[in-house]
Amino acid sequence: MYEIDAKDVYYRDLNEQIRNAIKNHNKELVIENVCGQYYIGCGLSDPDVTITLHGVPGNDLGAFMNGPEIVVLDDAQDGVGNTMNGGRIIVHGSAGDVLAYSMRGGSLFIERDVGYRACIHMKAYKEMNPTVVVGGCAGAFMGEYMAGGTLILLGLTKSKNKPITGNYLATGMHGGSIFIRGSVEPHLLWEQVKTEEPSLEDYDLIKENVKEFCNIFKNDYNEIMNEEFVKVVPKSTRPYGDLYIPGP
Amino acid sequence: MELAKDISGCGIAGFINTDGSLVSGIDIVDSITLMKDRGNGLGAGFAAYGIYPDFKDFYALHIMYDDEHARKITEEYLDRKLHIEQHGGMPTRPIKKKRPIFFVYFVEPREQSTKAESEEFRKEEEDEFMVKLVMHINEKIDGAFVISSGKNMGVFKGVGYPDEIANFFRVDEYKACCWTAHNRFPTNTPGWWGGAHPFSLLYWTVVHNGEISSYGANKRYLEMYGYKCTQKTDTEVVAYLLDLISRKHGLSFDMVGKIFSPPLWEEIEKMPKEEKELYTALRMTYGGALLNGPFSIIVGYQGGMFGLNDRIKLRPLVAAKKGATVFMASEESAIRYIAKDLDEIWMPKAGEPVVVNLTEEGYRKIYG
């Protein structure tokens, strides 16, 4: 285990220290007193490295990351997993806006809520297929322009005044799937997407990821799976196909 | 060449002790400095409430002058219009750059010397009188700008990073119950001393992250009511709109939130009848006060502080609570850096103002 004290360390220096530690063959990094340092784990490609963070990391945590696992034992800020290609990020708390923006691979597990615009522009290609599991609720514009990947929203923190997700859900979505535990009020949905009952294969995928979620955060699997899920899917893969040039 | 990315986006922070207890500026400087990279050294500033207990019944004018000539002209004007209880240069430390000169005046409107002038002043309309006075100085006197004009409060701002500006104005030596701060990354207006945030009029102060693309429409709307936009920066309109809508028209901050960040028409369409009527009426009446474009703002006023996002939340804002203190900032880390073991942390929803008022006792302590 390799420890780094991040107290009042500038983000560039901290990221330099992390890269050097990995270059020196350290596999388990523990960083204390993290507070707002940007880009932690940015672009790292080592799949057998684990970085544990105590404190709140700054924006764009794990941006462009290809390999390692990052465990945050606190909240995270905006832009977690921005354009991430591989690896895993676990947040024992809530995360901010634009989670998984343009994410292309790997997985995110968020214990509680996420902000606005989660998983916008998320995409998949061949074996690259990102997965995001959010335990709490999400803000508006979730899955906007989503093109691929899997998003599972559990809503474990929802209440009367706290809906599971906000307006403009899946606006412009043309690929991938969103699974929402419970139901979605139709007026939140963009007109070019629909909800349907997940298939048996879909449920296998949900179960596998919820199991993982429960292993990480020690939740009751049966209780979560007790409620059914709905699947949000695009009606067409080219929702804007007729926008500028009228179709046949 | 070293590759470096400019991390654009201003930073804002603020906190209020609702029990009216006073703390030095050290915490707010730490909080905003943690987000140093959100600015680029072209503007920073602080607003502080409760800093002049010995002069709490007087309007405190913080005035920025380009030169001694501007000061002479302005002071002649102030002498003619106001009773000046006390005045002097604002305490500063040396700074390595060309900078304007700053003076503070503790003043009180008084009966005017001529009959015609007296008619523009009535005791119960002191605030109105002060607004006109501030507008006159900013518009008509070359090289003089009033950067704040409320009672028992003040604004400190200029071109530099937050720690630099705080050091220059000796912010650590003031004690306030409410502090707000700004770290600027100017996008489409010049980085000059008057263009730094907070923007202020009377007791209103505004720090802002984002850009107000409706600036032109807002400016024309305000001009109809005698407000002159002279600071070359979009945020200025927010301070004046607050003065118009809240102080003069008496609308609550809840309503102000609905006016500044109204839901889209298609959302209004879906509302129940009563709500729909309200939002439609507000859009009709206050269309010129709608703030378009991305923003998060923290507003300070006499007796409280509130935070607000644009209607689709295109800029960050986090709020937190610990005991009698409420914090707001662009990033959670900026709050966590100055306050451990918070009772509650949340991300305000788009267009829903988070309003925090001093308790009655707190209010008496500061303004009573």
User: How far is it, in rounded angstroms, from Cα A158 to Cα A138?
Assistant: 10
Of A75, A115, A116, the CB nearest to B345: A75
Domain boundaries in chain B?
11-57+151-367
Q: Has residue A84 got a pLDDT over 90?
A: yes
**What is the predicted pLDDT for the residue at B145?**
96
C-beta atoms of B267 and A11 within 8 A: no
A190 touches chain B (CB under 8 A): no
Going from the C-alpha of B49 to that of each of A128, B107, B153, B177, B202, the distances in angstroms are 54, 17, 4, 6, 12
- Omega of the bond leading into B198 within 30 degrees of 0 (cis): yes
Going from the C-alpha of B290 to that of each of B25, B44, B218, the distances in angstroms are 33, 26, 7
Count CB atoms within 10 A of the CB of residue B125: 13
C-beta atoms of B313 and A59 within 8 A: no
Among candidate residues A178, A202, A200, A176, the one with its CA nearest the CA of residue A189: A178
In the numeric block, the tokens 């269309």 are attached to: B287
The residue type at A65: M
Reported as a single tens digit per residue, the pLDDT across A138-166 is 999 999 999 999 999 999 999 998 999 99
DSSP labels, A136-184: S---TTTTTT-EEEEEEE--TT-BTTB-SS-SSBTTT--EEEEEEES--
3-state secondary structure B117-139: HHCCCCHHHHHHHHHHHHHHHHH
Q: For the CA atoms of B242, B329, B361, B86, what is the dihedral angle to 10 degrees?
A: -60
Residues in a beta bridge with B316: none
A38 touches chain B (CB under 8 A): yes
**What is the predicted pLDDT for the residue at B56?**
95
**What is the predicted pLDDT for the residue at B111?**
77
Among candidate residues B241, B252, B242, B151, the one with its CA nearest the CA of residue B202: B151
- Yes or no: say if A84 and A102 are a contact pair by the CB < 8 Å rule: no
C-beta atoms of A77 and B34 within 8 A: no
Reported as a single tens digit per residue, the pLDDT across A34-63 is 999 999 999 999 999 999 999 999 999 999
Low-confidence residues in chain B, pLDDT < 70: 1-8, 113-124
Tokens of B253: 């901050």
Q: What is the CATH number of domain B11-57+151-367?
A: 3.60.20.10
**What is the predicted pLDDT for the residue at A245?**
67
A140 touches chain B (CB under 8 A): yes
Among candidate residues A157, A87, A151, A67, the one with its CA nearest the CA of residue A117: A151
Reported as a single tens digit per residue, the pLDDT across A190-233 is 888 999 999 999 999 999 999 999 999 999 999 999 999 999 99
DSSP labels, B47-68: EEES--GGGTTSEEEEEEESSH
- Yes or no: say if B175 and B184 are a contact pair by the CB < 8 Å rule: no
pTM of the model: 0.95
Rounded mean pLDDT of A67-85?
97
CA–CA min distance B332, chain A (Å) = 7
**What is the predicted pLDDT for the residue at B4?**
53
Of B267, B270, B347, the CB nearest to A115: B347
Query: What ipTM does this complex have?
Result: 0.94
User: What contacts 24+ positions apart, CB below 8 Å, involve A156-163?
Assistant: A156/A112, A156/A219, A156/A224, A157/A112, A157/A113, A158/A182, A162/A137, A163/A137, A163/A188
- Which residues of chain B approach chain A closer than 8 Å at the C-beta? 7, 34-35, 37, 267, 270, 312-313, 316, 318, 331-334, 336-337, 345, 347, 349-350
**What is the predicted pLDDT for the residue at B1?**
47
Q: Which fold has domain A2-234?
A: Pectate Lyase C-like (2.160.20)
The residue type at B223: E
Where are the strands (E) in chain A, listed by range?
A: 2-5, 28-35, 50-56, 69-72, 88-91, 107-110, 131-134, 147-153, 175-181, 193-196, 229-234
- Yes or no: say if A166 and B312 are a contact pair by the CB < 8 Å rule: no
C-beta atoms of B316 and A38 within 8 A: no
Domain boundaries in chain A?
2-234
